[in-house]
Amino acid sequence: MSQMMEARKVQKVGYSTLIVSLPKDWVEQVSLKQGDIVTFRREPDGGITVYPGLTRERENFRYVIDADICDAPNLLTRIITANYLTGHDTIQIVAKKELSQRHLEEVRAVSRRLTGLGIVEQSLKSVTLQSFVDPTKFPIYGLMRRLQIILSSMLETGVKAVVEGRPNLAEEVLHMEEEADRIYWMIIRQLLLAVLDRRVAKEVGIDGPMHVVGNRVIAKSLEQMGDLASHIAQEALRLKGDVKGVDAKLSKGILDFSDKVRLLIEDSFNALMKGDLKKSNDCIERVASCEQLERTLTTDIMRSVKAVNLAVGLRSIVWDVGQMAKYSEAIAEVAINRHLEAPSAFCAWEKA
């Protein structure tokens, strides 16, 4: 979407009414027609922002959760999380008598897991959580870049933990997953707020509603990769260094496979950020070679590893790495779709 400024002359109609015409390309883009309503927002710097349709300022509410009916495991956690994701800043958990120990533990755990959410008031019957996050301070692509960097590190560290038999590295991956989860939930919150408030969308770098959908696909793909890397670390802990007796060639093959997929993830995200259609296409083509390498490694594991538990564990790890390659394909597909939102050398636009 173009961000350039445009000057328009103020015209006078009748004795006192002043009017300014709307840019034709913008009117066509948002499908405005005669009789439609637009909303004006007065900005602190004296400017005015125009939005198509009715746009209202968000009202301040306190969102009260009845803990007494949250009797299923983790139900309270999920309701608090959902409130946070939908942009509810003040969340109160109440009980008629006293909050149970289980509910208090859930409240504390979820407040640690979600960025900027803290306990501001507490009594025997209620706890109030407050979000102190200013959404405009967290650009969406910066958050996604941080998540991509963390999961790439998780993949590299997790596979090293397996091949080198180092459980301390696996534990580090599980700590990294906690940070990855916090960033993921923050991304989802930003996307939902962008849908509700056009000003927030603009501030965090989202150009339009279609980008919200595409960014949701990207964020979920990155989050799924993080879960797969975490599973690799869990397998490393379960195997407890048993892989030290595995054939060196097989161990190197698993490491090389991990490096190949890690580079694919990084390239697909970089292609998205740079709007590089050719690079995105190349990333999609590389997924097939990763699938072939996964099958080759699986065959080698089944043939050369005699211990059943070890073979199953290594097969699971190779499968996890292969799935990460497939999730990178979704990122590349979004990048191609986004490139075609405007005319280019690849695809010209002609009126029918």
117 bridge partner residues: 131
pLDDT tens, position by position, 279-289: 999 999 999 99
DSSP assignment letter at 279: H
Largest CA distance in the chain: 93
Q: 3-state class of 29 per DSSP?
A: helix
- pLDDT computed for residue 231 by the predictor: 97
> Per residue in 256-299, pLDDT tens?
999 999 999 999 999 999 999 999 999 999 999 999 999 999 99
Which residues, in sequence order, are CB contacts of 213 under 8 Å at separation 6+?
A: none
pLDDT in tens, 193-248: 888 877 788 889 988 788 999 999 999 999 999 999 999 999 999 987 677 678 88
275, 264, 260: which is closest to 329 by C-alpha? 264
Q: Beta strands 62-66 and 90-94: pairing type?
A: parallel
User: At which residue do the structure tokens 């990763």 appear?
Assistant: 290
Predicted confidence band at 136 (pLDDT cuts at 50, 70, 90)?
Answer: confident
β-pairing verdict for 90-94 and 126-131: antiparallel
Q: Rounded distance, CA 348 to CA 340, Å?
A: 9
Asked if 335 and 268 count as a contact pair (C-beta separation under 8 A), the reply is: yes
**Euclidean distance between CA atoms 309 and 200, whole angstroms:** 51
**138-338 is classed in which CATH architecture?**
Up-down Bundle (1.20)
- Asked if 140 and 211 touch (Cβ cutoff 8 Å), the reply is no
In order of 39, 241, 248, the CA distances from 6 in angstroms are: 19, 65, 65
The Cβ of residue 140 has, within 10 Å, a number of other Cβ atoms equal to: 23
Domain locations in the chain? 11-52, 62-131, 138-338
